[in-house]
Amino acid sequence: MRVFGIDPGSGRTGYGCVDSDGSRHQLVTFGVIAAAPGATFPEKLHKIHQQLSQLITTHRPDCVVIENLFHAKNARSALLLGHARGVAVLAAVEASLPIVEYTPAAIKLAIVGYGRAEKAQMQQMVKVLLGLDVIPEPHDAADALAIAICHLHSSTSMTARAERVAGRSTAVAGGRAMRSWRDYKPGTPLRRPAP
C-alpha cells in the first residue's frame, strides 16, 4: 500500500509518501511546498495545489491522508490554514483518490503510543519506523510522514484501530496487557497481541 500524507499550511505545506507491505515501511519521498517570499495568498494556494497534483500524479498513491483538526492562534490563522487544507483536498479529489483524515491526537497515538506526545518524540519515531539515519527535515515534512504512517498503522486492522483510539491495550509486556505507555517498564520484552 502506498500512502501520501499532507500536513497543510499556508506558509509551508509538508508532504510525505510511504510504501508498506503491512509489516515494514519504506520512504518514497518527502518535502515541503513553499511559495516565494512576497507571493500573494492566492499565488501560495495555487502553488500548493499545483505541486501536490504533480506529486500525486508522479507517485500514484492508493490514498491521501490529511490531518483533520488544526490548532490556530486566532480566527485569521484558522481561515488561512483552512484554505490551504482545501486546495490539498482538491488535489486528491481531482486524482480520484480516497481521502482519510486523522486528528493530531490519533496521529500521535498511532506513532508514539501516546496522544499527547511531543513533536521531538514523533520525529524520532518517524525516523525509526522508516529506518532512516536522520530525522526528516523540515518538521512539516516529518509531520506529513507521521500522518501517512498513522494511516498505515490504523488501516491494518479495524479492531486494532478501535483499541488504539479507545486507549486500550496495544501491546503486552511480560504477559501483562499495557493500557498506556506509563505501564511499560524498561527491560520488559514487548509483543503485539494477536489481531
Give the pTM.
Answer: 0.77
Residues 12 and 69 in one domain: yes
Report how far residue 36's alpha carbon sits from residue 11's, in angstroms, rounded to the nearest whole number.
10
Over the stretch 156-165, which tens digit does the pLDDT of each residue have?
A: 543 344 444 4
In a domain, 163, yes or no: no
Q: Which of 19, 21, 43, 67 is catalytic?
A: 67
Number of domains, the chain: 2
Report how far residue 55's alpha carbon sits from residue 15's, in angstroms, rounded to the nearest whole number.
9
Model confidence band, residue 22 (pLDDT cutoffs 50, 70, 90): confident
Q: Which of 7, 19, 21, 43 is catalytic?
A: 7
Residues 174 and 80 in one domain: no
Residues 127 and 184 in one domain: no
In a domain, 192, yes or no: yes
Identify the pLDDT of residue 35.
87
Report how far residue 165's alpha carbon sits from residue 37's, in angstroms, rounded to the nearest whole number.
40
Residues 151 and 177 in one domain: no
CB atoms within 10 A of CB 183: 13
Q: Which of 21, 43, 94, 140 is catalytic?
A: 140
Calculate ∠ Cα 139-140-145, nearest 5°. 95
- Which element (helix H / strand E) includes 29? strand 25-34
Cell numbers found for residue 124: 524520532
What is the CATH number for 133? 3.30.420.10
Model confidence band, residue 70 (pLDDT cutoffs 50, 70, 90): low
Q: Does the annotation count 133 as an active-site position?
A: no
Its domain, for residue 71, covers: 2-156
DSSP string spanning 59-107? H--SEEEEE-----SSHHHHHHHHHHHHHHHHHHHHTT--EEEE-HHHH
150 vs 78, which has greater pLDDT?
150
CB atoms within 10 A of CB 98: 11
CB of 97 closer than 8 Å to CB of 61:
yes
Task: Over range 27-35, report the average pLDDT.
Answer: 95
Give every CB contact of residue 64 below 8 A, 6+ residues apart in sequence.
Answer: 3, 4, 5, 6, 56, 88, 91, 92, 95, 97, 98, 99, 100
Does the structure show a pLDDT above 80 at 4? yes
Q: Does the annotation count 183 as an active-site position?
A: no
Identify the pLDDT of residue 151.
94
Give every CB contact of residue 31 below 8 A, 6+ residues apart in sequence.
Answer: 14, 15, 16, 141
Over the stretch 80-110, which tens digit does the pLDDT of each residue have?
A: 888 999 999 999 999 999 999 998 889 999 8
In a domain, 161, yes or no: no
Q: What is the rounded (10 degree) CA torsion for 81, 86, 87, 91?
A: 140
In a domain, 111, yes or no: yes
Residues 89 and 113 in one domain: yes
CB atoms within 10 A of CB 163: 15
Q: Does the annotation count 67 as an active-site position?
A: yes
Residues 61 and 35 in one domain: yes
Identify the pLDDT of residue 163.
44
